[in-house]
Amino acid sequence: MVKCALRGEISNYWGRTSTYAVITDRLKHNYLGAKEDVIKMLSGESVKVNVTSYMNTMTDFVTKDDVFTYLMHLGYLAYNKDNKTCRIPNLEVRGEWYNAIAAMKDYSSTDKIIKASEELLNQTITKNADAVAKALDISHIHVTSNRSYNNEDALASAIYLAYVYALNQYTIVKEKEMTAGKGFADVVFIPVLCDNPAMIIELKHNGSADGALAQIKKRQYFTSLEHYKGNLLFVGINYDEKDKTHTCKIEELEKLD
């Protein structure tokens, strides 16, 4: 904040005083379950962590919980004591995580998804539903194991990671975090200081993209955005467990008043 005031320029000064090597040094040991949890946190989710096992040393790391607790001490993760979870705290720190992932071979597929997420957002805004579906096919493969591939939580994680770039331009409200009409929308994207449309995403598992769109309309999820004055996209996404493919339909509701 001091540098910001002195230079009169808003920038990521925190990142210039640290190094992402501390993240790569810990993650390269590939502790059990660490990669799956890191991918969730990169996509904006929180993950469970046990902070009681860490011995407060720089060398004795036995589990992913030890690593995550260590990274909390350094400011790379934030801790919620109420639900015992950790997350990436803000946009500046998230940038250091992106740098770390880009430098790690084991995360090369994840890095590609992150770098492609800007294009995915653009394709969604321009209502290119086929391109969105193909991008989600790739994301779903790389964020899940064979055992969890058909899990509904895995589908949500794939969506969050695929749209990770949107965190730069949107406030993203996830399932059960915002009452929307007659229930809860799966994901709501609210623009922050930009001209992009708001977006409501509904996910279906072994259903249809048309059915997802119909649910948005029937349950009136758009009423949660009644104070938003701009265009709104309805995005229906379905995952077919048998074919392991996604379909997408996108409709626009113009100028909410």
Judge whether 146 and 36 are in contact, CB under 8 Å.
Answer: no
**Same domain as 12, residue 92:** yes
Q: State yes or no: pLDDT of 11 exceeds 80.
A: no
Q: State yes or no: pLDDT of 9 exceeds 70.
A: no
Question: What CATH number is attached to the domain comprising 223?
Answer: 3.40.1350
**Same domain as 203, residue 154:** yes
Across the range 112-133, mean pLDDT stands at 94
Report pLDDT digits (tens) over 219-240.
888 877 777 778 899 999 999 9
CB within 8 A of 174, min separation 6: which ones? 44, 45, 156, 160, 186, 187
Q: Which one-letter DSSP state was computed for residue 228?
A: -
Across the chain, mean pLDDT equals 84
**Same domain as 238, residue 134:** yes
Across the range 173-199, mean pLDDT stands at 76
Residue from 216, 228, 148, 219 nearest 187 by CA: 216
Total tally of structural domains belonging to the chain = 2
- C-alpha 131/C-alpha 74 separation (Å) is 39
Across the range 230-254, mean pLDDT stands at 90
Burial status of residue 109 (CB atoms within 10 A of its CB: 0-12, 13-18, 19 or more): middle
CB within 8 A of 133, min separation 6: which ones? 237, 245, 246, 247, 248
Across the range 141-155, mean pLDDT stands at 61
For the sheet with 85-87, list strands across it: 47-48, 85-87, 78-80
Query: Is residue 168 assigned to a domain?
Result: yes
Helix count and strand count (H, E) for the chain: 9, 8
**Same domain as 236, residue 133:** yes
Burial 82-102 (b: 16+ CB within 10 A, else e): eeebbbbeeeebbbbbbbbbb
- C-alpha 28/C-alpha 67 separation (Å) is 11
Query: Is residue 138 assigned to a domain?
Result: yes
Residue 194's domain comprises 120-253
**Same domain as 237, residue 146:** yes
Across the range 74-83, mean pLDDT stands at 95
**Same domain as 242, residue 146:** yes
Pairing of strands 78-80, 170-174: unpaired
Across the range 185-193, mean pLDDT stands at 86
- C-alpha 56/C-alpha 40 separation (Å) is 25
Report pLDDT digits (tens) over 27-69.
998 899 999 899 889 988 899 999 998 877 777 899 999 999 9
CB within 8 A of 213, min separation 6: which ones? 202, 234, 236, 249, 251
